[in-house]
Amino acid sequence: MPTISRKEMSDKDIHLLYETVRIAHEAKQKGNHPFGALLADKDGTILMEQENDYEEGGSAMHAETLLLFKASKCYDADFLASCTLYTNAEPCVMCTGALYWTNVRRLVFGITEKQLLELTGSDVQNPTFDLPSDVVLSYGQKDMEVVGPATDEQLLHAIIADHKEFWNH
């Protein structure tokens, strides 16, 4: 049975989540959905970053999945096990699956999937699940660490502001 541990968010985690907000904001400015993700090594060094790419390929072009596919081509599974995926919003089922299959064992996210659903509503471009990533991961066979949602008010405001502006609900 896998262990899905929940840990407190560190100052380093908060700093790197702000970077995902920057990435998401840049995506929004290009007309894409406001999602941003980055991969960091165990010391917090950013290895890769990725924004949502809805304009290029539609609703399956999530920042997390795109980033994780790229990471799996650049790094081996043992190295990825020591890395962290940071994302402004909790990964959906598809992105959580990509996290699992690429062997990244730590996830840090800003807002929950449930909060995202409240922001996107029933928008056909983003038919959001209400299924937490730790629940998805609990059905796997790997020990994982999930950190989130963020509690830093300024960070939450920054994440939510881009979504409110974009989804206009």
d(CA 125, CA 24): 16
* Strand arrangement of the beta sheet that strand 46-51 belongs to: 4-6, 144-147, 106-111, 84-89, 36-40, 46-51
d(CA 169, CA 90): 20
Q: Which strand (E) or helix (H) includes residue 86?
A: strand 84-89
CA distances from 37 to 2, 27, 57, 124, 125 (A): 25, 11, 17, 22, 19
CB 32 within 8 A of CB 26: no
Catalytic residue among 64, 90, 145, 153: 64
Q: Answer yes or no: 64 catalytic.
A: yes
Residues classed as catalytic: 64
